[in-house]
Structure formats: C-alpha cells, structure tokens
Chains A and B, each alone.
Chain A
Amino acid sequence: MDPISWWVWPIILFVFTFIIGIIAPLSGVGGGVLFVPLSTAFFPFSVDFIRGAGLIMALTSALSSAPQFIKRGLANIKIMAPVVCISMVTSIIGGIVGLWITNAFPSGKYYITIALGLVLLLIFFVMATSKRIEFPEVKEVDVLSKKLGLTGAWYEPSVNKILEYKTTKLPIGILCFSVVGFIAGMFGLGAGWANVPVLNLIMGAPIKVAVATSMAVITVNDAAAAWIYMAKGAMLPLIVVPSVVGITIGARIGARLAVRAKPAFVKYLVMGIMLFAALLNVYKGLRGLGIF
C-alpha cells in the first residue's frame, strides 16, 4: 500500500503542474512536453495514464487559446485544414501503437520510456539549434498552396499595421506534420516544439502565425488521439483534473510574466531539465530491461 495518503497526490500534481504552467510560457515550450517526461521519470503512475493526462493538458491549453488567435487572424484554418487531414490519421496511429506497446509486451513500458527519452533528446536538439524568424520572406509559392490560397492578415500592435502573409511548401509541411502527429499521439505530447519550426522555417509563416496555427493543429491532432486513450481506459480523472487545473492557472501567470520579460536563463533551465529527464528516462527504461 502506498505510504502517502491518497489526497496528497492531487495536491502534489496540482503544485507540480502549476509550476510547469508558470515556467513553460517563459521558456517557449508547451506544458505537456515537460509534464510527460518528468512524470514518467519521477511519479509512480503508469506511462499510459501520464500520456492520457498529457494529451488532455495539451488539448485544453490549445482549445483555450486557439479561438482568440483565430479571431485576431493569427491562427488560420486555411493552413490547418490540409495539414491535419494527414496528421490526424498519424496521430491516431501513434496513439494505437503507443498503447499497444505498453499493453501487449511485458516490458512494453520500458520500451516506451526509452523512446520517450530519445524523443526528448530530439526536442532538446530542436530547441538548441532552431532559429525563429519573425517575418520569413516567401519568394515563391508552390502550386498547392496557391490553389488553396494559404494567405492571411493580422493586426500587429507593435507597428500599428495590418500585416499580410502567405505560406508555401505545403507538401513538405504535410510530410513533416505526419511525423509530428505520430509522435504526439504516441507520447501524449502537444508537439508545438515541432509544429512551430515547420510552420515558421519551412512553410514561411510569421512566427506569431506559426505559434497560433500550431495551437489550432494541436486541438485536432490531440482530440483525435484522446479517443484512443479513452477507449482503452488510459485516462484517470484523479490525475487529469488536478493536472489540468494546475497547468491552466500556472500558464495564466506564466503568460503574464512572459509579456514583461523572457529571461534567457529560464529557457536554459528548462532545456537542462529536459536533458536530465531524457537521460533519466533512457536509464530507467534500460534498467527495466535489465541492461543496467
């Protein structure tokens, strides 16, 4: 029997996710990308329930912010629709494969833990190397993007102007999003860390549009994968509710702090935590398999 009283766990989860909620916006990552690996490394819950909760956390955050972004012209369904046509399918497949691995093999959870560690190393690498371009220059537009009219506009208060944009390289974007969708579904991540560079650096969306449209993409991908987890009973309100409440309140505070300043050390701190969690998950998985 667990030595800790049951009611302590929701409080621990609330405080844990509240802190994640504050530091995530300051570092520029989503809360789920910290919650899933850290919980897998340090908490006693099965990775199944952690991924289920991670998906709902990412989904709730995206659902809460996407409508505001769309109303301001920052998120655009025109860009979202063609990419999620493919990524929704891969996200569902990711969810099925992820749960199949942990439930069909006796050592399945260790394989998933190792894979999560490796994905985290990839995220660390993306964060360390990718640049953000405020207004990428789109010189040529591919045929598909042209036909679908992937353009938009938003009011930018910093320059007091309505800024117009267009995006390109839709086929490459779709290919990238299909891989990202699989990872999101398999590990219960929002995957903004990958969506934003694809939209910004490959498809040429301005950074604000990329961040906002990524939220719209997450609503669809994570909602589709959530059904897989629900149908397998991999969601426990005991974990989901305190985590969603904690991260929602924390993120509101974090977002306000982020408007004032985004101290560089917070980003490096989060990257350090992610690297540590990645190595710990790989070690934990290998130890579970009897390799260490």
Chain B
Amino acid sequence: MRKEEVHIDPMNKTFAKVMEVFTLIGLIVMVIFGLLYLFNLSSYVDTQSAIAHWGHSASKFWEETKGVKISGYNWFLTNLNRMDCLSMLGIVILALTPFLSIVFAIPRSKGAYRGLLFILTLEFIFAILRPLIMAK
C-alpha cells in the first residue's frame, strides 16, 4: 500500500487547501506589520503607553491610553494606516480562516455534512457579528 492510495474526500481536501492559503496570508500580514510597529513606525497605541497600562483590564487599558470604550472592531478598522492596526488585520484574517475553509468546503460536502457545515457558518457569522449587535 502506498500513501497515494489514501482517499481524502473533496470536502476535507478543499477545507485544508483554503486553510493553508489564508493562514499564510494572515501570518505574513500580522508579522510584517507587527514588526514595523515594534520598530516604532506609525502606531495607534504607542509602545511606551501600552507598556505603562497593560497591567489594567482591557476596558481600563483603553480608557487610560486612548480615552475610549472599546466595543466592536472600529478601533483597528478605522485606523488601518497605523502599523499595530494593520497587524490586527492579520489576526482578523487568521480568525476568519476556519470560517472561509468551512464556506469553501460546503459545495464539496454531501448529505448531513452540508447541513452541519452550514450551521457552523451561521455560528461563525454570529460570533463575528455578536459584538456589533449586542454592544452596550
């Protein structure tokens, strides 16, 4: 028996392929802009201020450093000219990767799995939109 003879169904193959591609993109974006941030290129939260307040809870940290209350994704999406926010965009791509892998795998799935992957897609959409819908 050779390993080429192992049958991997199309649903699994597509899931893996999409995951591979978007993980690479996410990692590159996160690391490159993260390093530029560490080299003190244009930042939303400057490194000195971040270190001075990173012992506080997340809500207090943002009050102290930027005077804002964070609820949703605007804090980095509206500042994409800043390196730390661009690095966050890489994290967004990574967090979207399983969702995209599931979405692309749906057309390749059969029977009950099509339903299960569809439910997972809805759950992911809920996870992403929940902070926007249920923000205080």
Contacts and interface: CB of A to CB of B under 8 A. Distances in A.
A48 B58 contact: yes
Indicate the size class of the contact surface on chain B. Answer: 35 or more
Contacts of A236: 45, 50, 54, 84
Contacts, number: 211
A137 B24 CA distance: 38
A219 B95 CA distance: 9
A44 B50 CA distance: 12
Contact of B58 (A6, A160, A233): A233
Residue from B27, B99, B117, B123 whose CB has the most chain A CB atoms within 10 Å: B123
Interface in A10-27: 10
A234 B72 CA distance: 11
Interface residues of A, number: 71
Given A67-B17, A70-B15, A231-B72, A89 B123 contact: yes
Given A2-B51, A88-B123, A231-B72, 19 more contacts: A45-B54, A48-B61, A49-B58, A63-B19, A70-B15, A72-B3, A72-B6, A155-B2, A160-B1, A223-B94, A223-B95, A223-B124, A224-B123, A226-B91, A226-B94, A231-B71, A232-B71, A234-B58, A237-B84
B119 interface: yes
A67 B131 contact: no
B50 A238 contact: yes
Contact of B55 (A46, A56, A241): A46
Contacts of B101: 219
Interface stretch (A73-81, A119-127, A281-289): A73-81
B57 A161 contact: no
Contacts of B72: 231
Contacts of A162: 1, 3, 5-6
Interface of B: 1-3, 5-8, 11-13, 15-17, 19-20, 23, 26-27, 30-31, 33-35, 37-38, 45, 47-48, 50-52, 54-59, 61-62, 70-73, 75-76, 84, 87-88, 91-92, 94-99, 101-102, 105, 112-113, 116-117, 119-120, 123-124, 126-128, 130-132, 135
B112 A2 contact: no
Nearest to A148: B112
Contacts of A109: 57
Contacts of A223: 94-99, 124
A78 to B, nearest CB: 7
B15 A238 contact: no
B34 A88 contact: no
